Amino acid sequence: MMNRRDVLRGVSAATLGAGVLPFLKALPAAAAAGDTLVVVTGTTINSLDLHRTGTNRPSYQVAVNCYDRLLTFGTKTMPDGTLAYDYDTLKPELAESWEVAPDGMSVVFHLRANATFWDGTPVTAEDVKWSLDRAVTVGGFPTTQMQAGGLTEPGQFEAVDDKTVRIRFHRPSKLTLPDLAVPVPFIINSKVARANATADDPWAMEYLHRNPAGSGAFRVERWDPGQQLVYVRNDGWTGGPLPGVKRVIIREIPSQATRRALVERGDIHLSYDIPAKDARELAAGGKVPVVGTPVENCLNVLCPNLSFEPFRDKRVRQAIAWAIPYEDIFRNAGYGRGAPMWGGAASSDSIAWPQPSPYTTDYDKAKALLSETAFAGGFEVPLSFDLGTAEWGEPTALLIQEGLAKIGIRTTIDKIPGANWRTVALVEKKLPLHLENFGGWLNTPDYYFYWAYVKGNLFNSSNYDDDEMMKLVDETLHMRMDDPAYAPKIRRMITKAFDDVPRIPLWQPSFEVAMRPDVAGYQFWFHRVPDVRTLGFRQA
């Protein structure tokens, strides 16, 4: 029985903490009967609208679970038998079929005839056009994401008839169709949105911030900011197999010790994005199933911000790269889960990304480089990390602090609340030295570099600005990977990134999830937010 009495029988209230008690009181009796699935996470949901400025990554799950896109990705089986999305396979979601024009300059989508929004109104091509118009117009991350796929302005989208949509391309691109399957281009009930728009808010940003209006597998039944998000199944969903549970509670519990206690006791069903330390220990214990999946196109990195005067000299950045205790960090913050990203070849013929940088821990090289600069005596700088990722961020920051102290760079640790991180680090880009974790949704090297190395783009939190890098990204982003010019340009891009080091790779993380043995259907996704549409319970 999943109720407060059973939880407190095995774990004291003092251990769980006061913050979890309202959650325990809210657990419905239906959870015991298999109608409700309870997920805990340590991160905060700050909006129900991905398109809103400042919406953080944990909030993207609403776009995934409550809205449809034209396309989705397939599923593949990993070497360990677990499931993950398949970037190389596109499948229908809201669209039942599509055809690319012979010249490769447009695509026509045919919508499902029986697709309806939650209020029962049909999903039309006009809803699709309005939603895609919104995505390319609102600015910030959503619009930049659409631009990555070559979708830049409303004139590219046409409602041919009620169930047919044409999208025109400015140029053929390997990224356009996959980009329609990421969370950003979700389809909104435009009639509801327009009814709640104003002259000052033509895209109904304020309304949709708290009131989703979709056709997806789940509706938001309740949102208590900072506490929980409750989904209820949409039994009229046509975009895929009907979810195996009627209700899902996403509960925010900041304390990882509490989250671990709950999943170990079996009092919740799934703990999402658990620390590597817990993943290693729980997996070794054998009682709690743990799924760890390498995050494709993703790195944990240290970012020296070029807006901070010492870091404008690349020799200072290189000195820092030689002064990082990589192995200690991987062992004590990553717990050996994931892949090391240091000690690679000085010159590599590979275009795989991510790949290890040529740096190792060498304090003599670091000191020598720093001595050539105007900062030979060292300097002071704050070192920031996101409290929402403190399980790896804090030990990493402390070890980097020790390493940099050995070459005269003195750091103070700056802990930033997760709800504020995206705005301060990524939008305002004002943190002098900080830890960051970015994974490119579209699995190509040029896509990662587009987001993280191009001036002004969201994940370029180092304010890196280089003409050659911009040119390389622009030339390769839409290029076919079998084009003879592609590989040489990517190799140059990677070589330059390691020489300029505006981002210092630490390790490629593994995404870890712990669950009760009776939970079925978990699948890893590149966006790293809970996709609860496939979750259910194993048959007894």
For residue 371, report the phi and psi dihedrals to the nearest 5 degrees. -70, -20
Q: Quick check: 529 and 64 in contact, CB under 8 A? A: yes
> What six digits make up the tokens of 136?
């390319």
- Indicate if 243 and 108 belong to the same structural domain: no
Give yes or no: residues 336 and 476 share one domain. yes
Q: What is the pLDDT of residue 540?
A: 66
The residue type of 517 is P
Kindly list the distances between the CA atom of residue 29 and the CA atoms of 33, 39, 86, 191, 247, in Å, as whole numbers in the listed order: 7, 16, 36, 37, 12
347 and 477, same domain (yes or no): yes
The pLDDT, as a whole number, for residue 16 is: 44
In terms of domains, do 466 and 528 share one? no
Task: Tell me which residue has tokens 């919508």.
Answer: 111
Q: Helices 314-322 and 363-371, interaxial angle, to 10°?
A: 160
* Distance in angstroms (rounded) separating the CA atoms of residues 457 and 538: 43
Phi, psi of 274 (to 5 degrees): -85, 155
Q: Do 522 and 502 reside in the same domain of the chain?
A: no
Q: Examine residue 502 and state whether it is found in any structural domain, yes or no.
A: yes
442 and 519 together in one domain: no
DSSP 57: G
Backbone Cα Rg of the chain = 24
Residue 533 lies in a domain: yes
Q: Say whether both 372 and 228 belong to one domain.
A: no
State whether 448 and 532 are in the same domain.
Answer: no
Provide the token pair at 342: 């240091």
Instruction: Compute the CA torsion angle 50, 54, 57, 58 (nearest 10 deg).
Output: -80
pTM: 0.84
Residue type, 466: D
The number of domains in the chain is: 3
Which CATH number fits the domain that encloses residue 101?
3.90.76.10
Asked if residue 72 is part of any domain, the answer here is no
Residue 131 contacts residue 185 (beta carbons within 8 Å): yes
Q: Specify the pLDDT at position 76.
A: 96
Q: Is residue 532 part of a domain?
A: yes
Task: Output the pLDDT for position 453.
Answer: 98
Residue that finishes a domain, picked among 122, 157, 191? 191
443 Cβ neighbours under 8 A, 6+ residues apart: 87, 296, 297, 526
Q: Which CATH number does the domain housing residue 374 bear? A: 3.10.105.10
Least Cα distance to 230 among 31, 404, 364, 366 occurs for: 31
If asked whether residues 503 and 531 sit together in one domain, one would say no
Residues paired with residue 37 on neighbouring β-strands, in sequence order: 248
Extract the runs of DSSP E, i.e. beta strands, from 296-352: 298-304, 339-340
CA 172, distance to chain mean position in Å, is: 26
Two tokens, residue 256:
């990882």
The per-residue pLDDT for 63 is 98
For residue 131, what is the enclosing H or E element?
helix 125-137
d(CA 268, CA 255): 15
* pLDDT for res 11: 37
Rounded distance between C-alpha atoms, residue 324 and residue 507, angstroms: 12
Out of 175, 191, 207, a domain closes at 191
Among 157, 191, 225, identify where a domain stops: 191
Asked whether residue 530 is domain-assigned, the answer is yes
Domain assignment of residue 148, yes or no: yes
Q: Is 29 part of any domain?
A: yes
**Number of Cβ within a 10 Å radius of residue 30:** 13
β pairing state of 95-100 and 83-92 = unpaired
- Residue 343 maps to a domain: yes
**CATH number of the domain residue 256 falls in:** 3.40.190.10
pLDDT at 423 (0 to 100): 92
Same domain as 476, residue 384 = yes
Q: Verify that 28 and 61 share a domain, yes or no.
A: yes
DSSP H/E element including 326:
helix 326-332
Q: What is the pLDDT along the chain (540 residues), one digit of tens a residue?
A: 333 333 323 333 334 444 444 444 445 544 555 799 999 998 899 999 999 998 998 999 999 999 999 999 999 999 999 999 999 999 999 999 999 999 999 999 999 999 999 999 999 999 999 999 999 999 999 999 999 999 999 999 999 999 999 999 999 999 999 999 999 999 999 999 999 999 999 999 999 999 999 999 999 999 999 999 999 999 999 999 999 999 999 999 989 899 999 999 999 999 999 999 999 999 999 999 999 999 999 999 999 999 999 999 999 999 999 999 999 999 999 999 999 999 998 777 899 999 999 999 999 999 999 999 999 999 999 999 999 888 899 999 999 999 999 999 999 999 999 889 989 999 999 999 999 999 999 999 999 999 999 999 999 999 999 999 999 999 999 999 999 999 999 999 999 999 999 999 999 999 999 999 999 999 999 999 999 999 999 986
Of all helices (H) and strands (E), which one includes residue 495?
Answer: helix 486-500
What is the Cα–Cα distance from 100 to 166, expressed in whole angstroms?
10
Token match 């969903």: residue?
237
Cα–Cα distance, 496 to 239 (Å, whole number)? 43
Statement to judge: residues 277 and 368 lie in one domain: no
Kindly write down the DSSP assignment for every residue of 157-214, as one continuous string. EEEEETTEEEEE-SS--TTHHHHTTSSSSPBP-HHHHHHT--SS-TT-HHHHHH----
Residue 61 exposure: Cα atoms within 13 Å on the Cβ side: 26
Around 100, how many Cα atoms within 13 Å sit in the side-chain half-sphere? Answer: 11
Helix (H, G, I), strand (E, B) or coil at 113: coil
Domain that holds residue 96: 88-191
